[in-house]
Structure 1
Amino acid sequence: MSALFGAWALAACGASEPPPPAAPPPAPPPPVAEPEPEPEPEPSAPPADAKPEPAQSSGRTPLFKSDPEEITDSFGSSPAAKLELGDDTGRATLRIPENALSQGVNITFKIEKKGKTSGPPIGKVYRTSGVVPPDGTPREIESAGPVFELAFPAGNKKDANLAIGTISLDDKGREKIDWIVVAPKRIDDAMGLAYFELSKLPNAYLHITTKAPTEPKQ
């Protein structure tokens, strides 16, 4: 009897215990922060020393002028022009590329029989100058874009350079000449020609020399 009562008491006690609490649901993951959109890149300004885009060619046929001793004529930004001096014994050329001139310029290219020299010249002495109307004073002409191209007979001289005697007036109105020597862009041994590129068409005497260059290549 006591054993039966004890079993009933244990069963009664076991029936009265509450069930264990249910496990809480898992916490939701933290919201993922969306990345902020990257700012649009600002257009970069061109560098200060950036060269302007070369002007497009007009497609016009270049002018060609030839004379044994002297050419003087008016030229503008277009078309290009090639001036040629001399004869079959030797020809010098001046090329004025399209858009090298920003305005009308009267240009002279001639053989200067009484021109000044920097030491013994090789071949003839030449003269270039420009006049911008209405001013009638000869002056140098700076290119507005492509360089001026000159070629002179140089014989078989592989060390041919170009002596340039820029003409100006001193404070007493007398002619003054300042000389520099520039190296060629190239020498054509087969044709016996030395080619030069100048950013300015000088008001100057020019002749081939074997003196060493005083200026860097242009």
Structure 2
Amino acid sequence: MRASTRIQKLRVLSLGLPVAAALALVACGGEPPPPAETPAPAVKEAPAPEPTPAPEATPTPAPTSTANAGPAPQPEQSVEGPPVLMTNEKELQAVFTTRPGAKLELGDDTGRALFRIREGSLPSAHIISFKIEPKGKSTGVPIGKIYRMLVQIENSSELPKVETQDKPFELTLPAGGKKDANLAIGEVTTDDKGREKIVWTVIAPEKIDDATGTAFFKIKAIGNYWLHVTAKPPTAPAK
């Protein structure tokens, strides 16, 4: 009996050794084995977004003529300097150019004729003569005196007709108190055979000044002219 009981105790002791060893490991501070690593779930990349088309630019409408642009600017008025003043009872002659302008006055207290060259009217230097010609040419009976005008180029015998480059030339002549005082312009030319002839043109005045008894005329050209006031009706608009 004692022998079998001893054998059973030995079996119990032998079976309890692994458990005791385990408990001894825990008591001695041993760490348990780490848990198995769990693989991270695979991340599926999202597809790249499709590019958004840029919005179409809206064309800016072109300005129309009805826009509030305001009134058109007025052209600048040229400012003239003081003109050269020349006076004589019978005849004046000098060289005139683009600037300054000039006023040529002929006559006496019984009646004065004024020829004005506006600044900028002449294209270049010219010799201009203005005189009273008692025995000059006329068309019909002249009112007042007969005047002679000549335009020459320096160092030349040429007598050109010169058109104004800017404002018209101006003539103020005694009108003899006539309400229908017009200006007779006799342009001296030559025909095909070289013979001299006069072509007459009559123009109306811009105004007649009753207070001074003078008529005011504007002409667009000067040249080899005979000039006088006439009662004949106009044959052409102002030159």
TM-score after normalising by structure 2 = 0.68
1:29 aligns to what?
none
From the superposition, tell whether residues 182 and 58 of structure 1 become closer, same or farther in structure 2 (CA, over 3 Å). Answer: closer
Between the two proteins, what is the percent identity of the paired residues? 45
Larger radius of gyration: 2
Match of 1:38 among 48, 57, 61: 61
Asked if the contact 2:191–2:197 (Cα under 8 Å) also holds between the matched residues in 1, the reply is: yes
2:122 aligns to what?
101
Name the CA distance, whole Å, in 2 between partners of 1:79 and 1:111.
24
1:65-108 alpha-carbon deviations (Å, 9 max, x no partner)? 01111111000111110000000100001000100011001101
Name the CA distance, whole Å, in 2 between partners of 1:73 and 1:99.
17
Runs (5+) with no aligned partner, structure 2: 1-54, 65-74
Name the CA distance, whole Å, in 1 between partners of 2:80 and 2:145.
35
Name the CA distance, whole Å, in 2 between partners of 1:217 and 1:148.
11
Q: CA deviation at 1:124?
A: 0.6
Q: How does 1:20-169 map to 2 (within 5 A)?
A: 35-39=58-62, 56-57=78-79, 59=81, 61-169=82-190
Q: Which amino acid aligns with 2:61?
A: E
Q: CA deviation at 1:170?
A: 2.0
Asked if the contact 1:76–1:103 (Cα under 8 Å) also holds between the matched residues in 2, the reply is: yes
Q: How does 1:160-199 map to 2 (within 5 A)?
A: 160-199=181-220
Q: Which amino acid aligns with 1:102?
A: P
Runs (5+) with no aligned partner, structure 1: 1-31, 42-52
Q: CA deviation at 1:56?
A: 3.2
1:49 aligns to what?
none
Name the CA distance, whole Å, in 2 between partners of 1:54 and 1:67.
36
Q: CA deviation at 1:146?
A: 0.6
1:116-170 alpha-carbon deviations (Å, 9 max, x no partner)? 1100000110011211223222222111111000011011100000011100122
The number of equivalent residue pairs is 176
Asked if the contact 1:55–1:99 (Cα under 8 Å) also holds between the matched residues in 2, the reply is: no
DSSP 3-state at the match of 1:106: strand
DSSP 3-state at the match of 2:170: strand
TM-score after normalising by structure 1 = 0.75
Q: Which amino acid aligns with 1:37?
A: T
Structure 1 stretch 157-166 or stretch 137-146: which is displaced more? 137-146
Structure 1 stretch 130-139 or stretch 62-71: which is displaced more? 130-139
1:33-83 alpha-carbon deviations (Å, 9 max, x no partner)? 764212467xxxxxxxxxxx6773363x31000111111100011111000
